Chain A
Amino acid sequence: MRAILRKPKRELIVNFPVRMDNGDVEMFTGYRVQHNINRGPAKGGIRFSPEVSLDEVRALAMWMTWKCAVVAIPFGGAKGGVLCDPHKLSRAELERLARRYATEISILIGPNSDIPAPDMNTNPQIMAWMMDTFSMHQGYSVPAVITGKPLAIGGSEGRLEATARGIQFVTREAMIDLGMDPEESSVVIQGFGNVGGISARLLYELGCKIVALSDISGGVYNPDGIDVHQAMHYSREHGALRGLPNTQAVTNAELLTLPCDVLVPAALENQITEKNATRIKARLIIEAANGPTTPEADHILNDRGVTIVPDILANAGGVTVSYFEWVQDLQRFFWAEHEINDRLESIMTRAYRAVRNKAQQQETNLRMGAYLLAVTRVAEATEIRGVYP
């Protein structure tokens, strides 16, 4: 069993040409990895980045398997990526790249087999091009092949905010367990994109005092609290948080070690390392990003008694509402936003409590509790299905 679950089921590498605006043809490399499909169709996002590698995609696919199992939605894990710098591509080039990549991986994807979604540097428009490409090949619309689409073509209400809303729910539950009052708690958030920015707003609305925020330009800090609505407005107007009135500038590295009760890394992998783990002041870390804490840092923080809500639980709100979108597309029956949010709250709260209970039973931390719960569910499905032939 361990050997079965330890390796990805399928790995597809595609090398494909794309015609650029100047008439040249450039070659690109892409990946689609399915880690495990015993609990249902493979599910996982697609990222466009110069940093994409097969090992990164493998890791993210494996984490998707556990993430779907933790929140008990009927999907396996997958991930995809294209090695490119999307910021250097025109809109037309980006569309041709997305459509050709969708064609290349169409031997794997489908509404019953493997359902991609947005991830780093991909968005609803790119999902729309990929869904359209797949549908053109079929001869009819197949909205359920992709999630994270625009509402006009079968997207779901609440999808954009889903990951952040999940962060809000698990943060609230963890605070209850730790006896923390949101209105007495200060929060630092690294990352101000779709996840970090909306998490900041939702935690602010929960009553927390947001003392520091950051984006790629650096961080801003005010120990007396930042008005998140004002910060969002400022960021939209200036393109960055840098220079936000009534704040002092800090680097992204300094931000992580600022005095606070809750730290929400919502940017990249490997931000909390053995080099800074001893200086982190937060007593609660909510892993909104995938893999923000290295294993060495994890040990240090556990020894120091810091509670970490692990990524495979904390940021599962996104894939949960992707599941809702897929169900709605298959049924051609769409739900109101409050129904989406109510169902999301129910799933995230139940998942958090199941993880907490598992951790308590096994006398371990939340990360191990989440892994034990997830691995057991995937192992159970694999055992019941048996080994073919």
Chain B
Amino acid sequence: MAIDIVNPYQVAVSQFDDAAERSRALASDASYFTQAET
């Protein structure tokens, strides 16, 4: 099978980072502990 050498944890973290960038819930300038996106 076609397998590239990819670190799966880096992929998982990068997917999370992409979501975190877009998520108002995780916006760095607005602590989610005071402002939740529901």
Residues of A within 8 A of B (CB): 1-2, 5-6, 55-56, 58-60, 62-63, 66, 190, 252-253, 256, 267-271, 273, 275-276, 291, 294-295, 362, 364, 367-368, 371-372, 374-376, 379-380, 382-384, 386-387
CB-defined A-B contacts under 8 Å, sample of 13? A5-B26, A59-B9, A66-B16, A269-B6, A269-B8, A270-B2, A273-B4, A275-B4, A371-B19, A372-B22, A375-B23, A379-B26, A383-B33
Contact B26–A2 (Cβ < 8 Å): yes
Residues of B within 8 A of A (CB): 1-4, 6-20, 22-23, 25-26, 28, 31-33, 36-38
Contact of A60 with B8 at beta-carbon distance under 8 Å, contacts A371-B19, A375-B25 already known: yes
- Among A62, A275, A291, A379, point to the contact of B32 (Cβ < 8 A): A379
User: A62 contacts which chain B residues (CB < 8 A)?
Assistant: 9, 12-13, 16
Contact A271–B31 (Cβ < 8 Å): no
Min C-beta distance of B38 to chain A, whole Å: 7
**Majority SS of interface residues in chain A?**
helix
User: A58 contacts which chain B residues (CB < 8 A)?
Assistant: 9, 12
- Among A252, A367, A376, point to the contact of B23 (Cβ < 8 A): A376
Contact B9–A295 (Cβ < 8 Å): no
User: B17 contacts which chain A residues (CB < 8 A)?
Assistant: 6
A191 to B19, CA, bound (A): 29
Contact A1–B18 (Cβ < 8 Å): no
Nearest opposing residue in chain A for B30, CB measure:
A1
Contact of A256 with B8 at beta-carbon distance under 8 Å, contacts A1-B32, A5-B26, A376-B37 already known: no
User: B2 contacts which chain A residues (CB < 8 A)?
Assistant: 252-253, 256, 270-271, 273, 275-276
Contact B8–A1 (Cβ < 8 Å): no
Contact A6–B13 (Cβ < 8 Å): yes
- Among A256, A275, A368, point to the contact of B18 (Cβ < 8 A): A368
User: A2 contacts which chain B residues (CB < 8 A)?
Assistant: 20, 26, 28
A372 to B13, CA, bound (A): 14
New A-B pairs, 4, CB < 8 Å, besides A295-B11, A384-B36: A56-B9, A253-B2, A291-B8, A364-B22
User: B31 contacts which chain A residues (CB < 8 A)?
Assistant: 1
